[in-house]
Chain A
Amino acid sequence: MTQVEYQSISPSDFFYRNRELAGFSNPSRATYTAVRELLENSLDACESQQEPPEIYIRISEVGGSQSAETTIYKLRIEDNGTGVPEEHVPKAFGSVFYGSKYTLKQSRGTFGLGGTMAALYGQITTHKPMVVTSSTGGEIHEFTMMIDIQNNQANILKHNVKQNPSGWRGTVLEHQMEGDYSRIMYRLLDYLKQTAMVNPFADIMYTDPKGRLYRFERGTDKMPLLPKVVEYHPHGVDVETFRRLISTTKAKNLKEFMMTHFQGIGPTTADRFLEFAGMNPSTKPQNLSPDDIVKIVRATKDYTGFKRPDASCLSPIGEELLETGIRKELGLTDEDYIKVVTRKPSTYLGFPFIVEAAVATGPTVRKTHGPGITLYRFANRIPLLFDEGSCVIWKAANKNINWKTYKVESDTPLVIAVHVCSTKIPYKSVGKEYMADQPEVEKEITNAIREASRGVRVYISRKFRMAREKRRLNIFTKYLPKIAEFASKLAEKPMPDVQPLLDIVSTNIPEVEKKL
């Protein structure tokens, strides 16, 4: 009989072995994911101090890859964010599952892997160290380090401390990785453009391996309000979370426990709920049996007397900012139609969420996007680029809405942007590229698009009527002189003047314009 060996692996090790889960499945996708993780980290770092982000990304070729299809790149990202305190740098970039995002509020990062995963991937493909330079305003710390994968910790090779006379604050991360830029170029540029769309307050610059500079200038200095950290809503708690809360709570009884660790629960609600759950309010939380815990968690799902979840943990972009972002990235003019709607907060399974939608159409949209619907999907302010057809947003835009009622035909150019923000985006898969059709979320998305489309019908009718009037005038301009010409030839008389008749037709156009 063979002996089975048991061993534990570190989180770094786990992701090393399952890197496709985190979006590093092949060289081109890995290039894209690395940029994305780093950029999102930087945006979060800047936002948390309410400073309009200034981010510079550079991918340069290093060369020397073993494979013909891939290249070794050096990836560098600079931001003007909070900077990482010296003592946190090794952990923040040298181990996974370490960060400031494991609280209950909206944030961009998908797994909390962020920069580390990018660096980890770089290390396993190139075996080169990363360089992290950071300052919170004081000295500048420059770490050269590698990740000790088995132990999930940083292995610091060099640590330089520099003076910082200019008071620079921010982080620069530089590492090498094996990747394939050529295949992912368009996706990556698309991603940057869409990121700029929902972060109109950010200045993003990017230099690609060919040395081309792309600049996405900010359109405003205003930033959306920061999300707050909130307590759990009872509908959104599971047995494991509940158990953890109990193990750390200082509450002396169950009633106090409920009031302390859950949002929107006062003495009355606590009493009523515990009665509903069949629990004694004065029980010590630590004395609850596993069965009791299951019983309480089940009761939270059935009890209908809780307040709606607190949405202050959410940070929607807002109608004004989203419109600014879309206008600037699509280059819309006053000729075009755009309407942005931020819906009121709503919930699914105890998680608060807010849907925002923008609908745009018009001559610019026709020029840049061609006929038909172009969809932009965003979750917690990050663009979703893959698997559009599987996403609930696609379903809402293409299946749930009868576009005929908005006078939108199959060849009408239409841009629809939908942003869902939530403490928990209902992703359907680990790839986090599309959302599942949660009924509440689907309904909100559909309603948001409908609301933003309300003016489309009038806009299109107006455009249509204007175009028709112009066409009418063109027809008269074309035919009346011909009638006059051949009538005069028939009558053998000089050509009569048709201008008075054309004037009659063209005076109708301002009338129509006025009426609309």
Chain B
Amino acid sequence: MSKKPMNEAERRRLAMEQSLTQLGNLIYEQINNHEFPWIHMQSRSIDNIMYDPEERQYVLGPRMIRRHSRNIRHIRPFTQLIWTAWFSKELVRQRKTSTLREVYYSARGQRDIEYNDQTESDNIITDLEVALNRAREDFHIFPEERSAIFGDLTIEYTVPGYEGRRMNLTDHPDGVMIGPALTSSEFVDTSADKVLVIEKGAMFTRLVEEKAHERFNAILIHTAGQSPRSTRGIINRLAHDHGLPVYVFTDGDPWGVHIAMVIISGSANAAHLRGLTTPDAKWIGVWGSDIIDYKLPTEPLTDFDVKRLKELKDDPRYKDEIWQRELDIFMKLGQKAELEAFSRYGLTYIVDEYLPAKLES
């Protein structure tokens, strides 16, 4: 595994700062020319989001929109966008990070930068991503959700005060939180030969206790439900940059299935971004067929579950035969099973029997 040059993170940071400055220059010039400022960006409306079979993820279509401050309906979001750009530049310049929620509250502290709710603020941040063609993590804004990682991976921090400091991710038995510092760190070395992604915290802890990372020679990642972008980014880096195969292990219901799918093919919300998907990742369970094969205790599907299953069946990401087959089995059984269902065979069964069998196949 090759070690990246120390100044890679610094180079990205400077590029980001420059990109934000350019946006400022553009608008500055427009105002100086007595022109109402405007910017061009890709449309994020639903009819401009399409599935790209080549990229194996959702992408934005060719349609562009103009956000124009002459338009009375645009001027407020336009102002919000410029403010967010300025706020981001300050973060990048001062090597600080912030969260979606903090950005929202910082805006409220500003006179005349109003948001009705955090959703509006989050949306503007997504707009800025589209306008600059960069992920919000690049301009140092992170979501609240925190997932965790554990396993033999040595990282080297790039955040201020920790530059060059190294850590092995087996150092802490609860796993290490995937936050801004971890996200921006360099991956130095690993002995693992696979990545095991788990939806639930209890199962993650079980696997750590049972030393699954050693037995399967794996890096363990806990998504805490639908995985945050930074986690998906890390999975992508491990798969893409370090060539590790990725296995995703979720509840056996439509929601669990979709957690796996978003890791594999991405979400419509992030259609403007690249580098968050891992198309070669494998969903290894809990499958509909596992419910039968392992005689797992189940619960009946709710109406809500059934509706979701139907939606997934029509989703282009699920067009492959294996997905259709599993969705059909759930539908036919009318049952679902949680990861914890394996506990009926004892606490270690999943590590002793199930996972080895699954990874084998």
Residues of A within 8 A of B (CB): 472, 475-476, 478-480, 482-484, 486-493, 496-498, 500-501, 504
Cross-chain contact B76 with A479 (CB below 8 angstroms): yes
B contact patch SS: helix
Total interface residues in chain B, CB < 8 Å: 25
Q: Given A479-B69, A501-B31, check contact A487 B75 (CB 8 Å).
A: no
Q: Is B162 an interface residue (CB 8 A)?
A: no
Interface centre among B23, B27, B28, B89 (most CB of A within 10 A): B28
Q: Given A479-B76, A480-B69, A491-B25, check contact A486 B31 (CB 8 Å).
A: no
Cross-chain contact B75 with A501 (CB below 8 angstroms): no
Sampled A-B contacts (7; CB under 8 Å): A483-B31, A483-B75, A486-B79, A486-B86, A490-B20, A490-B85, A496-B31
CB-defined contacts of B27 to chain A, threshold 8 Å: 483, 487, 490-491
- Which of B32-40, B56-64, B310-318 is the interface stretch? B32-40
Q: Is B301 an interface residue (CB 8 A)?
A: no
Cross-chain contact B72 with A478 (CB below 8 angstroms): no
CB-defined contacts of A478 to chain B, threshold 8 Å: 112
Instruction: Tell me the complex Cα distance, A493–B28, Å.
Output: 8
CB-defined contacts of A472 to chain B, threshold 8 Å: 72
Which A-B residue pairs are the 6 nearest by beta carbons?
A: A490-B24, A491-B24, A487-B27, A486-B86, A496-B31, A491-B28
CB-defined contacts of B24 to chain A, threshold 8 Å: 486-493
CB-defined contacts of A484 to chain B, threshold 8 Å: 28, 31
CB-defined contacts of B25 to chain A, threshold 8 Å: 490-491, 493
Instruction: Tell me the complex Cα distance, A491–B27, Å.
Output: 9
Cross-chain contact A479 with B79 (CB below 8 angstroms): yes
Chain A proximity of B72: nearest CB distance (Å):
6
CB-defined contacts of B69 to chain A, threshold 8 Å: 479-480, 483
Cross-chain contact B79 with A482 (CB below 8 angstroms): yes
Q: Is B82 an interface residue (CB 8 A)?
A: yes
Which residue of chain B lies nearest to A468 when distances are taken between CB atoms in the complex?
B72
Apart from A479-B76, A490-B25, A490-B28: 18 A-B pairs, beta carbons within 8 A = A472-B72, A475-B75, A475-B76, A478-B112, A482-B79, A483-B27, A483-B31, A483-B78, A486-B85, A486-B86, A487-B24, A487-B28, A488-B24, A489-B24, A491-B25, A491-B27, A493-B24, A501-B34
Cross-chain contact B86 with A489 (CB below 8 angstroms): yes
Q: Is B113 an interface residue (CB 8 A)?
A: yes
Cross-chain contact A476 with B82 (CB below 8 angstroms): no
Cross-chain contact A475 with B72 (CB below 8 angstroms): yes
Q: Is B21 an interface residue (CB 8 A)?
A: yes
Cross-chain contact B86 with A500 (CB below 8 angstroms): no
Chain A proximity of B79: nearest CB distance (Å):
4
CB-defined contacts of B31 to chain A, threshold 8 Å: 483-484, 487, 496-498, 501
CB-defined contacts of A498 to chain B, threshold 8 Å: 31
Chain B proximity of A33: nearest CB distance (Å):
57
Instruction: Tell me the complex Cα distance, A375–B69, Å.
Output: 46
Which residue of chain A lies nearest to B25 when distances are taken between CB atoms in the complex?
A491
Instruction: Tell me the complex Cα distance, A476–B76, Å.
Output: 9
CB-defined contacts of A479 to chain B, threshold 8 Å: 69, 75-76, 78-79, 112
Q: Is B323 an interface residue (CB 8 A)?
A: no
Interface 1/0 per residue, B80-97 and A, CB below 8 Å? 001101100100000000
Partner of A483 from the list B20, B32, B82, B89 (CB cut-off 8 Å) is B82
Cross-chain contact A491 with B21 (CB below 8 angstroms): yes
Cross-chain contact B113 with A482 (CB below 8 angstroms): yes
